[in-house]
């Protein structure tokens, strides 16, 4: 039995789906099982990282787990899950981290590296998956594209290799189901290095209207994200991340998705076609 935390989220829901397709026994943890829309045959349980009793119940009888927590306090959340997992004899955890955790010099990477260190010290076998920026982050562009035909950001003209969430899930499933991935870390990226304007141009072609990228000064970008209701700590983390990418001259690209799954990563245009309706 494999436990999937964050089972109704962007990556977790795909992990559940792919595990079911592989005929694995799956237990899905979510805060509200009544709202979970998961495949037949999945055992859905109520669980919350802030509720140790629910974590104890969710990890009982589990052999492996998929671990995904977010935000500044993710290490504390994962520590509670790992304590329950260890007490119940879980053998292996696959953690979603972030690409920068290998050299944690900004807040977001430090949050995740702290979680990685706890997992490494837990006594469980571990696998760290360190993805680049999710393609699905582009859903935050919907409002500005509809209103102004523009995307606002602070990354300049440097290039990065965003990754499709399904590719992250596929790598997680490979690590959960196949041996040889224990106590290893993988930096995951998409297969294309694209600037923000290139991403906008491809999306614009697919939705049938021009989309322009507008680079903003950090303070203007911070104001716009806070006005959109994003948490202050997350806003500061994003600003710091974009500053680091600019300073580095761009984010790297790896072959780890292909190495883990046996296929090329999904393209940015693939994600845009899937979500075309949201931008029109």
CA distances from 156 to 151, 164, 196, 197 (A): 12, 22, 8, 9
Strand residue runs (E) in 61-218: 64-67, 92-96, 125-131, 150-153, 159-160, 184-188, 194-195, 212-215
Instruction: Report the pLDDT value the prediction gives residue 154, as an integer from 0 to 100.
Output: 85
Output the six-digit token pair for 259: 């190495």
Please state the pTM of the whole predicted model: 0.92
pLDDT at residue 173 is higher than 90: yes
Domain borders along the chain are: 2-131+165-188+252-265
Query: What is the second-level CATH architecture of the domain 2-131+165-188+252-265?
Result: 3-Layer(aba) Sandwich (3.40)
Instruction: Report the pLDDT value the prediction gives residue 67, as an integer from 0 to 100.
Output: 98
Instruction: Report the pLDDT value the prediction gives residue 189, as an integer from 0 to 100.
Output: 97
The mean pLDDT of the chain is 94
Do the Cβ atoms of 28 and 62 come closer than 8 Å?
A: no
Least trusted range by pLDDT, from 95-104, 115-124, 192-201: 95-104
């Amino acid at each position: 039995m494999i436990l999937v935390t964050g089972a109704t989220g962007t990556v977790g829901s795909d992990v559940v789906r792919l595990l079911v397709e592989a005929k694995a026994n799956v237990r899905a943890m979510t805060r509200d099982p009544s709202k979970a829309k998961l495949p037949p045959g999945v055992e859905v349980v109520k669980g919350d990282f802030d509720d140790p009793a629910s974590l104890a119940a969710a990890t009982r009888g589990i052999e492996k787990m998929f671990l995904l927590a977010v935000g500044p306090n993710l290490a504390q959340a994962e520590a509670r899950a790992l304590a329950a997992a260890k007490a119940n004899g879980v053998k292996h955890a696959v953690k979603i981290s972030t690409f920068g955790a290998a050299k944690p010099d900004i807040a977001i990477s430090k949050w995740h590296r702290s979680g990685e260190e706890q997992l490494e010290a837990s006594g469980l076998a571990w696998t760290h998956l360190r993805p680049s920026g999710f393609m699905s982050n582009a859903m935050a562009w919907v409002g500005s594209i509809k209103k102004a035909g523009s995307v606002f950001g602070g990354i300049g003209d440097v290039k990065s290799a965003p990754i499709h969430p399904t590719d992250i899930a596929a790598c997680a499933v490979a690590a959960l189901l196949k041996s040889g991935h224990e106590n290893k870390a993988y930096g995951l990226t998409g297969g294309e290095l694209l600037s923000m304007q290139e991403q906008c141009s491809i999306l614009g072609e697919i939705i049938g209207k021009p989309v322009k990228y507008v680079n903003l000064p950090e303070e203007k970008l911070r104001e716009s994200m806070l006005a959109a209701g994003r948490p202050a700590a997350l806003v500061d983390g994003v600003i710091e991340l974009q500053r680091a990418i600019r300073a580095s001259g761009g984010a790297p690209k790896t072959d780890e998705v292909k190495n883990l799954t046996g296929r090329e990563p999904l393209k940015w245009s693939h994600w845009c076609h899937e979500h075309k309706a949201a931008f029109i």
